[in-house]
Amino acid sequence: MRRRTVSPGAGLEEALDSLAAAPAPREEAAAPAAATPRDRSREREALQTEFAFELPRGYVDDEGQVHRHGTMRLATARDELRPQIDLRVKENPAYLSVVLLSQVITQLGTVTDVHAGIVERMYATDVAFLQDFYRRINSEGHTHAAVTCPLCHGSFEVDLSGGRLGES
């Protein structure tokens, strides 16, 4: 395996692009049988890459409109690497989550261009919700959690993607 060093003058983007363009190492082991088009379409259907959520409070834009519903996509390795070269993150490591969330939130109400400035202006409870939501969909792959009722000790599953209690 080749080790690559990125100098301060070179950006992460160029390093990632050059690695992506490099030919893959040859595999000596026999390759598995090629998947049929039908198998590939099933795989695409099985992998969910965007997840809907509802913020507890909501983002209030400049016109005073509240945006609560949104979508977040799965993070890529590039999404997690890019904030590491961001000067705002270098100056304040706590800013990492703001930059990361701004990259993976694809829509927030009618706002389709979600950037760090929008995440900065969100309420702390909404940012905490989004951080937990990010962790759940990227590490566990779903938004459901098993819970146990403290009174009757019954077990059931809840969807943490922002649905309200009592809604069906």
* 137-149: average pLDDT: 75
Question: In this predicted structure, what is the pLDDT of residue 11?
Answer: 56
Looking at the DSSP bridge assignments, the partners of residue 26 are: none
Question: In this predicted structure, what is the pLDDT of residue 154?
Answer: 85
Question: In this predicted structure, what is the pLDDT of residue 100?
Answer: 96
Q: Which residue has the higher pLDDT, 133 or 154?
A: 133
Nearest to 110 by CA among 71, 75, 137: 71
* 10-16: average pLDDT: 56
Q: What percent of the chain has pLDDT over 70?
A: 64
Least confident of 41-50, 88-97, 98-107: 41-50
| pLDDT tens profile 50-99 | 999 999 999 999 999 999 999 999 999 999 999 999 999 999 999 999 99
User: How confident is residue 27, by pLDDT bands cut at 50, 70 and 90?
Assistant: very low
User: How confident is residue 28, by pLDDT bands cut at 50, 70 and 90?
Assistant: very low
Q: Which residue has the higher pLDDT, 113 or 19?
A: 113
* 115-130: average pLDDT: 96
Least confident of 22-26, 43-47, 100-104, 113-117: 22-26
Asked whether residue 43 carries a pLDDT value surpassing 80, the answer given is: no
